[in-house]
Amino acid sequence: MTQKNIIFSILAILLIGLQPITAQQKQVIDQVAAVVGKHVILQSDIENQYIQYRLQRGISGSAESIRCQILEDLLFQKLMLNQAEIDSITVTDEQINQEMERRLRYFIDELGSQEKLEAYYNKSINDIKNELRRLVKDQMLVQEVQNNIMMNVEVTPSEIRSFYRSIPTDSIPMINTEYEIAQIVKNPPISIDEKLQVKERLYTLRKRILDGERFSTLAVLYSEDPGSARKGGELGYYGRGELYPEFEAVAFSLKDGEISEIVETEAGFHIIQMIGRRGEYVNVRHILLMAKVSLESLEKAKNELDTIAALIRNDSITFEQAVEKYSQAPNKSKGGLLLNPYTGSTLFEADDLDPQVSFVIDKLKVGEISDPVPMKTEDGKDAYRIVMLKKKTTPHQANLKDDYNRLQMMALQQKKQASIEKWIRNKSNSAYVRISENFGDCNFTNNWMNE
C-alpha cells in the first residue's frame, strides 16, 4: 500500500468503523501499540483492522508488513486528530448524527435488517450508535484537518507543463476514445386520467388486503419498486429524514399492522403497512404503483422533437439555441451537455455511456444529431430526446493540447499529496509520538521514531 493510497483513503481507515466480535479477536491480549499526543492506538485496533483487511480486501504481503501499514494508517489519523484539538476544530452534533444515521441505514440495508446488524456486531443498536458516533466524529475531524491542509493548494500553467514533462515517456497515460454528447429532452406530462387509474388500482389492492389477503403477497405480484417487491414490499428500518417527506409522515404515524390510505410522492403512489417500530426507526411494507406517460403524450413529444431536429438540420436554429428554447432537461443551462458522473467532466469513454446512448452515438459523425429516441429520466419517467455528438477523440497518449484538464487534475493531486506529506513530516517531528518496541522493525514511510 503506497502512502498516496493511505492518505487519500484516510476516511476508510476504520473500514466500516465497527468490528464484529470474533473468537480470534477475543484471544488478543490488549496493549498499547502507540501514542500520538493524548491519543492511544491499541494492539486490538490493529488486529481488528488486520482481520477485516484479510477478509475483505485480499491484501498481499506478510502479516507483519500489513500490521505495520495499518499502524501507520492509524498514526496518520491520530496525528490529524491531535492537530484538530490544537486548532480547536469542531463538528456539530447535528453533522455527526446525520452522517451516523446515513451509515447505519447503509449497514442495515447491506445486512437486511436491524436485527441482523445487531447479531453481526453482537451489540444492541444503542451500543452500535454510541460507538459509531465516536468513530464518525473522529473521521469528520480528520477530514476537516485534511481540507485545511489542502485548502489553498493550486497549480499554475507552468507547474502543469513541468508535471507533464516529468512523466517518463513510457509512462504517459494512454487516453481511450472519448465522446462529448449533448441532448434536447422532452418530458411528456402525466395526465390526470393516468393518475386516477393508478389510484383506483391501489384502492382495489388496499381493499383486498383489508378483506384478508396478505400485503406481502400482493407486493410481490404488483409493486413497481423492484428493490422491495421481491421482499414482500418490506423496506427495512428507516430513521427520520431518510424517506420522501409525504411517505415518512404517514409511515411514522401508523400503528403495528395498520394499512395507510394512498400516499403520493415523487416516486408515485403508495399504500403502506407498519411492520414494527424500534426506537427512532420504523420498518414498513409498501406497494408502489407509478402513473405512466400515455402513448399519446409520448408520440406528441416524439413529433415535437422531430420538428426541432428538422429545424436544426435546415440551419433554421442552432442546436444550442434549440437546447435553450425547447429542452426540459436539468442540464439545459449547460448547453445540454451530459456530465460524466464518474469523472465530473463532459467526456465519456464508451464503457461510461448508457448502452442506449452508446448505440445511438456509434452511428453519428461529429456535429450530427440523432432522430428522437426513447429514454428514462432520472426519476424513471418515460421521455424522448435527440442527442448530438459534439466531440470524438481518437486513442492517444496524453498531451497538453488535448488533455490539459486531465493533466491539470493529475498535477493538482500530486501537489496536494506533497502538501500532506510535508505536513506529516513537520507534525510528526513536533508532536508527542511513541511506538511500542514490538513495532521497532516496521519500515514506515515517515520517520515516526523521534526520540
Contacts 24+ apart (CB under 8 A), 425-431: 427/79, 427/82, 427/83, 428/75, 428/79, 431/36, 431/37, 431/79, 431/82, 431/83
pLDDT score at 107? 79
pLDDT tier for residue 25 given thresholds of 50, 70 and 90 = very low
51-108 confidence digits (pLDDT tens): 777 766 555 678 888 889 899 989 989 999 999 999 999 988 888 888 887 888 777 7
146-183 confidence digits (pLDDT tens): 999 999 999 999 999 999 999 999 999 999 999 999 99
Percent of the chain scoring above 90 in pLDDT: 47
260-316 confidence digits (pLDDT tens): 999 999 889 999 999 988 877 888 999 999 988 888 999 999 999 999 999 999 999
Give 14: exposed, middle or buried? Use CB within 10 Å, 0-12, 13-18, 19+.
Answer: buried
Q: What is the CA radius of gyration of the chain?
A: 28
pLDDT (mean) for 111-117: 75
pLDDT tier for residue 12 given thresholds of 50, 70 and 90 = very low
Give 385: exposed, middle or buried? Use CB within 10 Å, 0-12, 13-18, 19+.
Answer: buried
pLDDT score at 2? 41
pLDDT score at 57? 53
pLDDT score at 386? 96
Full DSSP string of 381-424 = -EEEEEEEEEEEPPPEE--TTT-HHHHHHHHHHHHHHHHHHHHH
pLDDT score at 388? 96
| Chain position carrying cell 484538530 | 84
Contacts 24+ apart (CB under 8 A), 412-421: 412/153, 412/154, 412/155, 414/163, 415/153, 415/154, 415/155, 415/159, 416/150, 416/153, 417/4, 417/7, 417/8, 419/149, 419/150, 419/153, 420/7, 420/146, 420/149, 420/150, 421/3, 421/7, 421/446
pLDDT tier for residue 16 given thresholds of 50, 70 and 90 = very low
User: Over the chain, what is the mean pLDDT?
Assistant: 86
pLDDT tier for residue 392 given thresholds of 50, 70 and 90 = very high
In this model, does residue 1 exceed pLDDT 50? Answer: no
45-54 confidence digits (pLDDT tens): 888 888 777 7
In this model, does residue 226 exceed pLDDT 90? Answer: no
pLDDT score at 55? 65
pLDDT score at 19? 56
List, in order of start, the domains of the chain with CATH numbers: 3-154+414-439 (1.10.4030.10), 177-189+294-394 (3.10.50.40), 192-289 (3.10.50.40)
pLDDT (mean) for 247-258: 93
Dist CA 217 CA 214 (whole Å): 5
- Coil vs helix vs strand at 380: coil
Q: Determine if the pTM surpasses 0.75.
A: no
Percent of the chain scoring above 70 in pLDDT: 92
pLDDT score at 59? 58
Q: Which of 190-194, 239-243, 416-420, 445-449 has the lowest mean pLDDT?
A: 445-449
In this model, does residue 8 exceed pLDDT 60? Answer: no
pLDDT score at 191? 87
Give the CB-side neighbour count of residue 144, counting CA atoms within 13 A.
Answer: 20
Spatial neighbors of 141 by CB under 8 A, at least 6 apart, are 80, 81, 84, 89, 90, 91
371-380 confidence digits (pLDDT tens): 999 998 877 7
pLDDT score at 18? 58
Give the CB-side neighbour count of residue 227, counting CA atoms within 13 A.
Answer: 5
Dist CA 272 CA 287 (whole Å): 7
Spatial neighbors of 119 by CB under 8 A, at least 6 apart, are none
405-434 confidence digits (pLDDT tens): 889 999 999 999 899 888 888 888 888 889
